[in-house]
C-alpha cells in the first residue's frame, strides 16, 4: 500500500495531533493548528468557486504573513500550483512572472496593490486579483471571501510527481526561470532537513527568511510537520529580530549571511538580552567563518551551514557536525562550519567534477563544479526545454558553483564560476578574499569582484562597508589582507561604500559592482 509523498500530509497530521497547539503568530493574531487548517480549507473552497482546479497556477506577492503561509496549503490542496513571486521585483517583472507561469489568480499583499494595479491591464491571463489584506476597488477581499466560504471542496487525486510550486530564480543576468518543484521534492527536502536538524512541537520558528524564496527553504511545511509554531516577521532588521526572538521565545530561524551579519553586530545591550541556544540555518551564499564565530561566541547561538539552490528544493548538502569538530579551537571550528558539507540522507548524490565529469581529488585545492542528481532535484524549468536540457547535461544537474573537496569529504564552495577572478593566469576565489577581510575588526561587510587590469587581465577589487563608528584605510586593509592571503589575491583597490546591492534574499549583486552601476559607492 503506497500513499503519495506530499507535504499536505503534514498539516493533516498536525491538525490531528496538535489541533489545539499554537500554529501561527502574526503580530497580535494567534492561530491554533485547527484554526489555521480551517482557514486553509475555506480558502481552498473559495478558490474552487473562482474556477481554480488541478494544475492551475495561483501566484502570490506578499511578505511573511499568516495569509501568505495559508496559500502554501490552500492552493496545493486543490491540486493547483503555487507561484510565490519575489515582492522586491519590479512591476515589469510581476507582469513577466504572472504571464509566463500562466497564473489565473494573483493574491497580493496591501503593500503591493498599487504596483500591480499599474500593470494590471497587461496581465490578461489573470482572471481574479485578490487583496490578501485590506480592501481596494477592483480587488476581491481575501478575509471577506473567507468569511463567506464553506470548508467543503472537492479533493482531487494528487500524485507525488504532480507540480506543487513554480519558483522563479532571481534573473540577475537574464529573464527569471520557473523552477518546477513536485510534491515529492518538497516532502523529501522536509524529511531530510528534520533528519539532520531536528525540531519538535515545543519549538518556535521565526520567519526571517522570505517565504517566497524556494518556499521558505521548505520551512513553510517543515515547521508544520512537527507541530511547531510559525512566528511571522513581515520586515526583517536586527531590532525586529531581537524583539521577536525575546518576546516569542524563538528557538529556530533561517537567514542569509547578510541578515546574520546585521544580527551579530547590533547594539551590545540588545545582544546581551537575547536568549542563548537559538539554532540557525544559513545558506544563500557562503558565510564567513568570522560571522559564525561571532554568533556562536558572542550570542551563544548554534549555526549550521547548508547548501542548495532553488532547483534542488533547495537543500542538497549540510555541514553536519562531527564529534571531532567539538575539540577544535573556536576559530578552527568556525572555519569548518563555513563549509557546505556533505549530502543530506534524502537529497541524492552530490559530486564535484572537472570538465570531463571526473571527480576532483579530495585535496581541498582542486576546484570543480558541483553536480547533483536525486530526490530533491527539480522536474525542470517551466516552459523552457532548452534551459532544462542545458542544466541536465550528462544526466546530472549542473549548479554552476565551483567547489573543492576536503580529505574528510566535506565540500567547500570557492565561488560561482562567473565570479572567479582570473588574474595573471591565477584563479582567485572572491569568497576566500572576503573571508580574510571580514576578520578585520572594522569591516562589517565586503564584496570582492574582478575588474579589468591592463597587465593582469583582471584584479580583485573590494567593496567594503565599515562597522558604525569604525574607521580603516585602503592601505590598512591591504596590509591586513597580506597577513593571510597570497600577494596576488590581495585586492588592488578598496572602495568604501555605505551598503552593498543585494537581492531580496540577501545575496550580494556582484554584477552591479562589476558593471559600474554601483551608485552607492563613495571613495
| CB contact at 8 A, 438 and 463 | no
Q: Is 375 helix (H, G, I), strand (E, B) or coil?
A: coil
Q: What backbone torsions phi and psi does residue 244 show, to the nearest 5 degrees?
A: -70, -40
Cα 158 to chain centroid, rounded = 27
| Dist. CA 313–CA 7, nearest whole Å | 13
Whether 171 shows a pLDDT value over 60: the answer reads: no
For 385-437, write each residue's pLDDT tens digit.
Answer: 999 999 999 999 999 899 999 999 999 988 777 777 877 666 788 888 988 99
299 confidence band (pLDDT: 50, 70, 90): very high
Give me the pLDDT at residue 519, please.
42
Give me the pLDDT at residue 174, please.
61
For 103-120, write each residue's pLDDT tens digit.
Answer: 999 999 999 999 999 999
| CB contact at 8 A, 166 and 211 | no
Q: Is 363 helix (H, G, I), strand (E, B) or coil?
A: coil
What mean pLDDT do residues 209-232 have?
Answer: 97
What mean pLDDT do residues 489-510 have?
Answer: 86
- Point out the least confidently predicted range of 88-97, 204-213, 375-384, 421-430: 421-430
Q: What backbone torsions phi and psi does residue 311 show, to the nearest 5 degrees?
A: -70, -10
251 confidence band (pLDDT: 50, 70, 90): very high
Whether 176 shows a pLDDT value over 50: the answer reads: yes
Give me the pLDDT at residue 505, please.
66
- pTM comes to 0.86
Q: Please tell me the total number of residues recorded for the chain in this structure.
A: 523
What mean pLDDT do residues 19-37 have?
Answer: 98
- DSSP structure string for 334-358: HHHHTS-BEE-TTT-EEEEE-TTSP
CA distances (Å), 56 to each of 126, 152, 196, 409, in order? 11, 19, 34, 43
Strand order from edge to edge, sheet including 140-141: 140-141, 128-131, 103-108, 57-61, 81-84, 163-168, 178-182, 380-381
Question: What is the chain's mean pLDDT, rounded?
Answer: 92
Give me the pLDDT at residue 287, please.
67
Mind listing the domains of the chain with CATH numbers? 29-180 (3.40.50.12780), 236-347+373-399 (3.40.50.12780), 426-514 (3.30.300.30)
More confident residue, 108 or 175: 108
Give me the pLDDT at residue 142, please.
98
| Dist. CA 201–CA 204, nearest whole Å | 8
| Dist. CA 195–CA 302, nearest whole Å | 17
Give me the pLDDT at residue 465, please.
95
Q: Which helix (H) or strand (E) holds 129?
A: strand 128-131
Whether 153 shows a pLDDT value over 60: the answer reads: yes
| Dist. CA 449–CA 127, nearest whole Å | 44
| Dist. CA 374–CA 385, nearest whole Å | 20
Query: Max Cα separation, the chain?
Result: 71
Q: Which helix (H) or strand (E) holds 163?
A: strand 163-168
Whether 518 shows a pLDDT value over 60: the answer reads: no
36 confidence band (pLDDT: 50, 70, 90): very high
Amino acid at each position: 500500500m503506497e500513499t503519495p509523498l506530499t507535504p499536505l500530509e503534514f498539516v493533516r497530521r498536525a491538525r490531528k495531533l496538535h489541533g489545539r497547539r499554537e500554529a501561527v503568530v502574526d503580530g497580535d493574531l494567534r492561530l491554533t493548528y485547527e484554526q489555521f487548517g480551517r482557514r486553509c480549507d475555506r480558502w481552498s473552497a473559495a478558490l474552487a468557486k473562482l474556477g481554480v482546479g488541478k494544475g492551475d497556477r495561483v501566484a502570490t506577492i506578499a511578505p511573511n504573513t499568516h495569509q501568505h503561509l495559508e496559500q502554501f496549503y490552500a492552493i496545493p490542496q486543490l491540486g493547483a500550483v503555487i507561484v510565490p513571486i519575489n515582492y522586491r521585483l519590479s512591476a515589469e517583472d510581476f507582469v513577466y512572472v504572472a504571464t509566463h507561469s500562466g497564473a489565473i489568480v494573483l493574491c497580493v499583499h496591501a503593500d503591493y496593490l498599487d504596483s500591480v494595479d499599474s500593470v494590471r491591464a497587461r496581465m490578461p491571463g489573470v482572471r481574479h486579483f485578490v487583496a490578501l489584506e485590506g480592501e481596494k476597488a477592483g480587488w476581491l477581499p481575501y478575509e471577506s471571501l473567507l468569511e463567506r466560504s464553506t470548508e467543503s471542496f472537492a479533493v482531487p487525486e494528487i500524485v507525488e510527481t504532480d507540480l506543487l510550486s513554480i519558483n522563479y530564480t532571481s534573473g540577475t543576468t537574464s529573464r527569471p526561470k520557473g523552477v518546477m518543484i513536485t510534491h515529492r521534492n518538497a516532502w523529501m527536502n522536509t524529511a531530510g532537513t528534520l533528519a539532520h536538524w531536528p525540531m519538535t512541537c515545543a519549538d518556535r520558528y521565526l520567519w526571517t527568511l522570505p517565504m517566497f524564496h524556494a518556499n521558505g527553504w521548505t520551512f513553510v511545511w517543515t515547521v508544520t510537520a512537527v507541530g511547531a509554531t510559525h512566528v511571522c516577521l513581515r520586515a526583517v532588521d536586527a531590532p525586529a529580530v531581537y524583539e521577536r526572538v525575546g518576546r516569542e521565545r524563538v528557538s529556530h530561524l533561517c537567514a542569509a549571511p547578510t541578515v546574520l551579519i546585521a544580527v551579530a553586530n547590533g547594539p551590545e545591550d540588545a545582544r546581551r538580552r537575547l536568549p542563548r541556544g537559538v539554532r540557525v540555518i544559513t545558506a544563500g551564499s557562503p558565510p564567513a567563518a568570522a560571522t559564525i564565530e561571532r554568533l556562536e561566541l558572542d550570542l551563544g547561538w548554534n549555526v549550521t551551514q547548508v547548501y542548495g539552490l532553488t532547483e534542488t528544493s533547495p537543500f542538497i548538502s549540510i555541514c553536519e557536525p562531527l564529534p571531532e569538530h567539538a575539540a577544535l579551537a573556536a576559530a578552527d571550528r568556525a572555519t569548518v562550519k563555513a563549509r557546505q558539507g556533505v549530502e543530506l540522507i534524502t537529497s541524492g548524490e552530490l559530486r564535484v567534477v572537472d570538465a570531463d565529469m571526473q571527480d576532483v581529488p579530495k585535496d581541498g585545492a582542486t576546484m570543480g563544479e558541483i553536480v547533483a542528481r536525486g530526490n530533491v532535484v527539480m522536474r525542470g524549468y517551466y516552459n523552457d526545454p532548452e534551459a532544462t536540457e542545458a542544466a541536465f547535461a550528462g544526466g546530472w544537474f549542473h549548479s554552476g558553483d565551483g567547489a573543492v573537496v576536503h580529505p574528510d569529504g566535506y565540500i567547500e564552495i570557492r565561488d560561482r564560476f562567473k565570479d572567479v577572478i582570473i588574474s595573471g593566469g591565477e584563479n582567485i576565489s572572491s569568497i576566500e578574499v572576503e573571508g580574510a577581510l571580514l576578520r578585520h575588526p572594522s569591516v562589517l561587510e565586503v564584496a570582492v569582484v574582478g575588474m579589468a587590469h591592463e597587465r593582469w587581465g583582471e584584479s580583485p577589487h573590494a567593496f567594503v562597508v565599515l562597522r558604525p563608528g569604525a574607521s580603516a584605510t585602503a592601505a590598512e586593509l591591504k596590509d591586513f589582507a597580506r597577513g593571510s592571503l597570497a600577494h596576488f589575491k590581495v585586492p588592488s583597490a578598496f572602495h568604501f561604500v555605505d551598503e552593498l546591492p543585494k537581492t531580496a534574499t540577501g545575496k550580494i549583486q556582484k554584477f552591479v559592482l562589476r558593471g559600474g552601476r554601483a551608485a552607492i559607492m563613495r571613495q
